[in-house]
Structure 1
């Protein structure tokens, strides 16, 4: 068997040696999202160190609030932001549906500061040269914030999108609304958030006489 054939053999998941197989994310972590309380701790930590004490917390806050993928946050430009109207146009990647989202006042305030600080950049979240952040750059920002926050869960940037979905599900938003908000073309991608929401079972009546 030649080298190429051997690698093809290994790539067959039915025969792959476990030592060569990359584990799924859920095998590394017990959950793939952060709670709102954890997000607040992380956002606060992002603003407590380094030169970018406005950019970094704004990046994390908007990524959570609007369910942004790292690439969507990295390429966001100021022409998508309408501060006076408190509206932001979310340009989705991976074939997802783009659309306008409302902004909360804390987002408007942070973005107003950002626009003054990085007045010469087209990008909302620029790097040192005023160009767009890379996905690797965002990962480093998140890693530093997580270390500062001391969270007991390994954090990565794509968790913010999942955190948004689970947060909306806990607010009892409909699956259709969450689908539209996150830009999912297929509702099957959204069902995970409502299916794992424990509040669905809060109406269960366990008020029987305790046997112990």
Structure 2
């Protein structure tokens, strides 16, 4: 590293430590990011910070992509260099900031995994059977898919929370907030069959309790127990991978939006406090539309 580059780095480190009062952890990463860029400058034969142009900044970003840096790491490096050059301009060491017009690498949006409608049919088929456990599993799957409730919310449902006349369930969500969720005819039929014919068989004269879903011992079904059942259904349906606890919740929201439901309604049904939490599902539905278009349009 030549003396000029080293002096600029030292001055910037002093600035962010003393004037900006950045933490030791933040200062460490600023130094690493700038030193990494210095290596790139050396590879490109650039000896002065003032000689770095927008094209060089773009080339540096491209090399980071090629080396498969994560999106958050890319964003941090570009942000560090933008701040560094802003400081250099303030000190009149350089005239321009080549990173100011460089689009910051946005954090990669993780699109929720969900089941397609054909996959849901296979899961329901995997519940077919007359045993008490089969009947319970069908009711469990129908309720999770019909309501979009969390696994934790499902495990806490009690018989008194269910209104079979109006097809509603009183759910206790995060922060002990209560909301009413709806379910349809398929879930109603499965639930009635389970309550009338199977739940008491599984209870096996255990101390009577009000929890809706029970395990083979007759005790309340836990979140872990529900996840085990769902993963077992995955295997029976010959679907790949494991079922994340939220996949049926994601599926519920995605299918509603795909069939024309508005975002506000889905927000209320999911129990989201902020609409921004629900908006991620619009990315799922857009991706679904894109794939459908590419698969079916003759000029796609």
Structure 1 length normalisation: TM-score?
A: 0.73
Residues in 2 aligned to 1:59 and 1:169: alpha-carbon distance in whole angstroms = 23
Residue of structure 2 in register with 1:122 after alignment: 210
Does 1:101 find its partner at 2:189?
no
Task: Provide the aligned C-alpha RMSD in A.
Answer: 3.3
Residue of structure 2 in register with 1:162 after alignment: 250
List per-residue Cα deviations over 1:73-108 (Å, max 9, x = no partner). 11111111111222222222x238532233212211
Does 1:64 find its partner at 2:111?
no
Q: Rg larger in 1 or in 2? A: 2
Work out which of the residue numbers 255, 268, 271 in structure 2 matches 1:183.
271
1:34–1:163 Cα contact (<8 Å) kept: yes
List per-residue Cα deviations over 1:146-190 (Å, max 9, x = no partner). 011001343223211111111111012111111101000011110
Shift, 1:200, TM fit: 6.6
Query: What is the SS of the residue equivalent to 1:46?
Result: coil
Give the gaps of 5 or more residues in structure 1.
Answer: 1-8, 10-14, 16-28
Distance of aligned partners of 1:55 and 1:187 in 2 relative to their CA distance in 1, 3 Å threshold: same
Residues in 2 aligned to 1:139 and 1:201: alpha-carbon distance in whole angstroms = 31
2:142–2:190 Cα contact (<8 Å) kept: no
Shift, 1:67, TM fit: 0.9
Q: Which has the higher contact order (CA 8 A, sep 6+)?
A: 1
Residues in 1 aligned to 2:247 and 2:178: alpha-carbon distance in whole angstroms = 20
Residues in 2 aligned to 1:134 and 1:196: alpha-carbon distance in whole angstroms = 30
Residues in 1 aligned to 2:218 and 2:135: alpha-carbon distance in whole angstroms = 15
1:97–1:184 Cα contact (<8 Å) kept: no
User: Which is worse superposed, 105-114 or 190-199?
Assistant: 190-199
Structure 2 length normalisation: TM-score?
A: 0.53
1:47–1:56 Cα contact (<8 Å) kept: no
Query: What is the SS of the residue equivalent to 1:88?
Result: strand
Residue of structure 2 in register with 1:143 after alignment: 231
2:127–2:233 Cα contact (<8 Å) kept: yes
List per-residue Cα deviations over 1:101-139 (Å, max 9, x = no partner). 332122111111221222454111112333221111111
Give the gaps of 5 or more residues in structure 2.
Answer: 1-24, 26-31, 33-109, 201-207
Q: 1 or 2, which has the higher helix percentage? A: 2
2:111–2:280 Cα contact (<8 Å) kept: no
Aligned residue pairs: how many?
181
Query: What is the SS of the residue equivalent to 2:264?
Result: helix
Shift, 1:30, TM fit: 8.3
